[in-house]
A and B are shown apart, each in its own frame.
Chain A
Amino acid sequence: MRYLPALLIGRLVRFAVRLVRPGGGSALPGLVVSKLAPGLVNKLLSSFPKGLVIITGTAGKSTTTKMAVAIARAHGLTVFTNPSTANIEQGFFSTLVKSGTLSGKYPADIAILEMDEGHAAALVRDVAPRFSVILNVFDDQLDRFIDPAIVREKLAAVAKRTTEKVILNADDQNCLLIAQEVEIEKDYFGIQSQVGTFAYSKTYLPEISNPTARNTVTKLSGREAVLETISGPVRIELPSRGSHFALDAVAAWTICEEILGSGFDSELAKRSLDTMPPVFSRGEIKVIDGEEVEFILIQNPISTQLNIDNLDTSPEQLMFAIGRDVHDPSWLWTVDYSKLDHVNMVSGFNFADAALMLSYNNIPIEVIEPDYFKAIEDFLALPQPKLGRKTVLYSADAMRRLRRYKGFTDPEDVQRV
């Protein structure tokens, strides 16, 4: 019971935060408990009978994790996870405060967590994962990690601390370099090049031949994907369109085969993927005042590029909001925006940088509105588009502010359309 006082205080903070900001404040209680009882999470993450699974890499962590959790739960496992994309340590403390016992335990069979490169590398110093999934390395967070090679080193640290098996992306040379450092068993997932190719960070090292992937995406049409798995082809319907979601699905499928072993049921796994809603703001569609609005989170160059490339056409009505989370907005300029023929509204804390970037890329902007909440209201008040839906491309901070402002506070309240 040594953690009881810290957890009680955490619950009180959570209660207080939710009184003043209903539905919000997921980070503060965790932050408080992390200061009072820093060893709590390590103890927790070491306590699950079926171990800890870490899903990491630059892009696709949230969706892959949500898919893996859905498949595992469909097979009857109870899972500890970090569902609100709080892929930082405080997020785990928050989840524990919210749903754990006062003795610091969480009644689950297994932990399946998404973690960014930095936090994952730090965590594995104290807690060794049973399985890890290394999704990819793209140019990202260079203000934090400086160079793609440093990102690769951090992911390698996670892989090397894994005790049973590492699952890696067969098509990313960075993952193949990491694989060379791993002494335990490893396996691969992949996507056929005619279905999807991705601009992974260049390694500038001699090419490593691609290993045979255990499971591969072989076809994609709209949201329908075919996975060629060890037990035969499986046709699934993705929660959102895009080859990156298909790659997330095959990664989730592969790790779940490992977690569940002989108990893995491909029919059950298929049904889980066919019915799961998108992770919030990853192509999420909300009905607001009787009108469908699509919300797309952009977090780094690759997610921005993939999401823009993935638009059917330039949206008739588009809002582009870059919030305070983008510390150094330089990366915004590495993306090809030529698919966009205009933007109706630019806002967010970094509105000026976003507007400068669009202007120098010759993309007409109708309105630049520094007041974010006014921008939201003015954009949503536009007459319904003749074609398609209103579309919001926004960074994580802009997403959180909009969701809180509009009352979309439950990350699980996302419907499949």
Chain B
Amino acid sequence: MSKIVRLGTLFPEDLNLNGDQANLLVLRKRLELRGVECLIQTAKPDQLDGYGLLFLGHGSKGAWAELSASQPELISNFLNANAAVKFVAGNGVEKVLEVSGNLVRQSSWSSEFVSQDGVVGYLNDDLAGPVFTYESTPKGITVLSRLHGPILAKNPTIADKIIFDAGWAQESSSAELDKLDQLAELSRKTAFEH
């Protein structure tokens, strides 16, 4: 293993209400299965440099209220950080859209499994607009997933797209990756049988 990919996560104790932090476990395992060492580290809000990926998860109303008060620059610092990938899950997306002036709410609450462009996950919010966006620009990759929880486990093609687009590993497969992908396929199928 010649290089180390550092995945930085902000306030993991508070922004993991729906298991969102598990997305980092998924990336780490898929990197390790391709021979790339990976570290998951808690990122300090005033030291966001040096990470390959920065992650913001889903927090309770109380958690976000406290973070908004104690860390008013958190979202803008996150968006301006130089990480190759920024990944936001669950209601972290609401905070990002709020800061960027793109927040639009709808009149009703959606709490359901959804599939958008082949990405499957659980939605639980009242926002309008796409449930999942993947934007790759020369400045880096930004993933906004209103689908909360371990979305990369259910959608390993997205996990691999991040890994390949960021240049962390070459495309390759293995028996273990294949097995994980088969389970993910079954998991996506199950989601709509509830």
Contact = CB atoms under 8 A, between A and B. Distances in A.
A163 to B, nearest CB: 30
Contacts of A368: 183
A204 B66 contact: yes
Contacts of A350: 187, 190
Nearest to B111: A143
Interface string B17-28: 111111001100
Interface in B162-194: 179-180, 183-184, 186-187, 189-190, 193-194
Contacts of B61: 147, 149
Interface residues of A, number: 36
A360 B60 contact: no
A149 B17 CA distance: 13
Contact of B19 (A147, A327, A334, A352): A334
Contacts of B189: 352
Given A139-B17, A143-B111, A202-B14, A324 B62 contact: no
B65 interface: yes
Contacts of A306: none
A20 interface: no
Nearest to B186: A352
Interface residues of B, number: 37
Interface stretch (B41-49, B78-86, B148-156): B148-156
Nearest to A326: B194
Contacts of A331: 18-19, 149
Find the residue from B21, B62, B66, B193 having the highest chain A CB count within 10 A. B62
18 contacts: A142-B17, A143-B111, A143-B124, A149-B60, A202-B14, A204-B60, A205-B62, A324-B194, A328-B122, A330-B18, A333-B149, A352-B189, A353-B154, A356-B150, A356-B153, A356-B154, A359-B29, A360-B153
Interface of A: 139, 142-144, 146-149, 201-205, 324, 327-334, 349-353, 355-357, 359-362, 368, 370
